[in-house]
Amino acid sequence: MARWRSEEGSVTVFVVGLTLALMMVAGLVYDGGQILAARRQAHDLADNAARAGAQAVDLDALRSGAPVELNPLGAQVAAEDYLALTGHAGEVRVTADTVEVTVTITTPMVLLQLAGISERTVTAKGQARLVRGITGPEA
């Protein structure tokens, strides 16, 4: 009488391994999408905050007939206020006629926590410049 080696449980190990692999792929898809969405949101916030800051012109200079200039403190406050209204923090830098904003967003991982990745941080920069008068198409 031949003795067959028992294969009980071998399918279970394969199924568990396959399930874990599929969970990791699902995690890359879902959490990767969350990272891309956070990156887009960070870019939008940085661009919009920079635009808000670039609208802060020096009204006294404008009324006196002097060339239009940015009010550096007003631009800083306007950009920071915009970020505060959205519930995000960022760094604002004002130079001459340019407002630069850097926004950092940390997004939690849902499925990739199984692989030990709990969160990801994305950073985006936005820039806006004060434009005087009507300009033509930029080359």
pLDDT tens by residue, 12-63: 888 888 988 888 888 889 999 999 999 999 999 999 999 999 999 888 877 8
Measuring CA to CA, which residue among 49, 74, 50, 81 is closest to residue 60? Answer: 74
Residue 75: phi, psi to the nearest 5?
Answer: -65, -40
More confident residue, 6 or 132: 132
Helix (H, G, I), strand (E, B) or coil at 90: strand
Q: What is the spatial order of strands in the sheet that 98-108 belongs to?
A: 90-95, 98-108, 119-129
Residue 124: pLDDT band (50, 70, 90) is very high
Q: Are 45 and 86 in contact (CB under 8 A)?
A: yes
pLDDT score at 113 = 86
Which residues are registered as beta bridge partners of 57? 70
